[in-house]
Amino acid sequence: MASKMAITLDVNGTEHEIRVEPRKTLSDALRGDCGLTGTNVGCEHGVCGACTVLMDGAPVRSCLMFAVQAQGRKLRTVEGLAASPGNGGKLHALQQAFIDNHALQCGFCTSGFLMLAAGTLEQQPDIDDASLREVLSSNLCRCTGYQNILRAVRQVRDAGKGGAR
């Protein structure tokens, strides 16, 4: 067994000093070592997108990276979307739009979809409907039938609030 390595992960602006084996995925380190269980793990081989987080602003599958590879990168997870409770706790526009549009049922896929949508709208605030559909087809939802997710994200795009609370 390879020995553990001491690494620092910058997640939502907070530094987490953890010790992990190289084989530990970023998703497992976020959940198990940083205590950030908002990122869900479904398939663990890149198919479902439940584990999507932002790395230096780009949405990536955190189950398809090893935690040691994320040192020095800026990570963002679903915990970083809403304002902290001490700061009023206001939801991100995407979170509010998901609630308003019934874009979640069981919620297992939701953090992945939120991070995918957040990263996409920050990179491409004026993304057209066809491209948005292509991007959102990256992740799986077993409950909603997708239309409400599309509606929620389009609403936030149209309001020009992709990066805002």
Partner 1 sequence: MKAGSFEWHPARSADEAVALLAEYAPQDGRVIAGGQSLVPSMALRLAFPSHLIDINGVEEFSRVRVEGGELVIGACVRHAAFHAPVEPGPLGRLLTQVVHNIAHYPIRQRGTFCGSLANADPASEWCLVAATLGARMVARSVRGERVIEASEWFQGIMTTALEEDELLAEVRLPLLPAGSRAGFYEFSRRAGDYALAMALVAWRDDGGTMRDVRIGTGSVEVQPRRIAVAEALLEGRAASPEAIAAAAAAVSADVDPLEDIHTSADYRRDLVGTAVRRAHAQAGD
Ligand X SMILES: Cc1cc2nc3c(=O)[nH]c(=O)nc-3n(C[C@H](O)[C@H](O)[C@H](O)COP(=O)(O)OP(=O)(O)OC[C@H]3O[C@@H](n4cnc5c(N)ncnc54)[C@H](O)[C@@H]3O)c2cc1C
Per partner kind, with CB cut-offs from 5 to 8 A, the member of ligand FES, partner 1, ligand X, none near residue 162 is none
β 58-61/14-20 pair status:
unpaired
Residue 46 binds to ligand X (criterion: CB under 6 A):
yes
Token duo for residue 104: 């979640």
Query: Which CB sits closer to ligand X, 46 or 125?
Result: 46
> Do 53 and 63 touch, CB atoms closer than 8 A?
no
Residue 47 binds to ligand FES (criterion: CB under 6 A):
yes
Per partner kind, with CB cut-offs from 5 to 8 A, the member of ligand FES, ligand X, partner 1, none near residue 22 is partner 1
Residue 46 binds to ligand FES (criterion: CB under 6 A):
yes
Binding mask 94-113 for partner 1 (x = CB under 8 A): --------------------
Residue 62 beta carbon to ligand X: minimum distance, rounded to whole angstroms: 13
According to the 3-state scheme, what is the secondary structure of 41-96? CCCCCCCCCCCEEEECCEEEEHHHCEHHHHCCCEEECHHHCCCCHHHCCCCCHHHH
**Short-list 54, 57, 30, CA closest to 112:** 54
Cα–Cα distances (Å) from 43 to 83, 109, 148, in that order, read 30, 11, 23
Residue 30 beta carbon to ligand FES: minimum distance, rounded to whole angstroms: 12
Rounded Cα distance, 77 and 111, in Å: 8
Residue nearest to ligand X (CB): 46
Within 10-29, which residues bind partner 1 (CB under 8 A)?
A: 21-23, 25, 28
Residue 47 beta carbon to ligand X: minimum distance, rounded to whole angstroms: 5
Amino acid identity of residue 68, one-letter, is: V
Q: Can you give the binding site for ligand X, defined by CB under 6 A?
A: 46-47
Q: Can you give the binding site for ligand FES, defined by CB under 6 A?
A: 41-44, 46-51, 61, 63, 104-110, 141-144
